[in-house]
């Protein structure tokens, strides 16, 4: 079984922000896999799917970004899912908008949501799908920048990245993470 968690912040206020790309990928995967119901468990919204013959849980933590690990670790422990089968999808300031990078493990890179997962799982050895949002062009604090909606000139690229990331997740489930890395890492 795989646990695929999209990171984001709950509520309509954050729905279209840079920080919520993970939630948007989960929503697209749920639509593709015809996941019709989410249960409220583990401080999150959990849906079940069977793409490519695999048992998959889709999770949108409702703990707010910086505490995402609480929800993800609780779900993983309950379902006895090893960290290498816990996949995190999140925004990344260090990648330009339009870039995707899949990593099998690593540091948080300063991302508080990823740091929370590392702390709660007790390991940095879990795959992550890093979606580039770039850094602000003007001197805006990063904590404000990531909770701003995309500008009109960025929305198309952001939606394309949501679709590309969903394609990468499906490829990873079907053909393995290494294949997905070879095809989708930019």
Alpha helix (H) residue ranges in the chain: 21-32, 68-78, 112-121, 142-145, 155-175, 177-184
Cross-strand pairs, 117: none
Question: Are the CB atoms for 57 and 48 separated by under 8 Å?
Answer: yes
pLDDT at 116: 98
pLDDT at 137: 82
Tokens of 48: 């079940």
Q: Is 55 annotated in the active site?
A: no
Q: Write down the pTM of the prediction.
A: 0.96
Residue 138 pLDDT exceeds 90: no
The verdict on domain 2-184 having CATH code 3.40.50.1470 is: yes
User: What number is the average pLDDT over the span 144-172?
Assistant: 96
Q: pLDDT tens, 13-31?
A: 999 999 999 999 999 999 9
Among residues 2, 19, 85, 99, the one annotated as catalytic is 19
State pLDDT tens for residues 35-90. Answer: 988 899 999 999 999 998 899 999 999 999 999 999 999 999 999 999 999 999 99
Write the burial class of residue 157 (CB in 10 Å: 0-12 exposed, 13-18 middle, 19+ buried): middle
- Characterize the bridge pairing of strands 39-41 and 44-49: antiparallel
Query: How far lies 13's CA from each of 16, 97, 148, in Å?
Result: 8, 22, 10
Per-residue pLDDT tens over the stretch 139-157: 889 899 999 999 999 999 9
For the cut 90, the answer to whether the pLDDT of residue 167 exceeds it is yes
pLDDT at residue 186 is higher than 90? no
Q: What's the pLDDT score for residue 140?
A: 87
């Amino acid at each position: 079984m795989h646990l695929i968690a999209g990171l984001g912040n709950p509520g309509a206020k954050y729905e279209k922000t840079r920080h919520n790309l993970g939630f948007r990928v989960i929503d697209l995967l749920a639509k593709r896999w015809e996941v019709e119901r989410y249960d409220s468990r583990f401080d999150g919204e959990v849906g079940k799917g069977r793409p490519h013959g695999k048992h998959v849980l889709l999770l949108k933590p409702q703990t707010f970004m910086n505490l995402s690990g609480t929800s993800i670790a609780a779900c993983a422990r309950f379902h006895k899912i090893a960290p290498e089968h816990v996949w995190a999808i999140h925004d990344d300031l260090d990648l330009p908008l339009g870039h995707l990078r899949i990593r099998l493990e690593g540091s948080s890179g300063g991302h508080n949501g990823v740091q929370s997962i590392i702390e709660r799982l007790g390991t940095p050895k879990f795959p992550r799908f890093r979606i580039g949002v770039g850094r602000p062009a003007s001197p805006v604090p990063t904590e404000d920048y990531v909770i701003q909606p995309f500008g009109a000139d960025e929305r198309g690229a952001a939606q394309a990245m949501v679709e590309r990331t969903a394609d990468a997740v499906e490829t990873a489930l079907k053909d393995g993470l290494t294949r997905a890395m070879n095809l989708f890492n930019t």
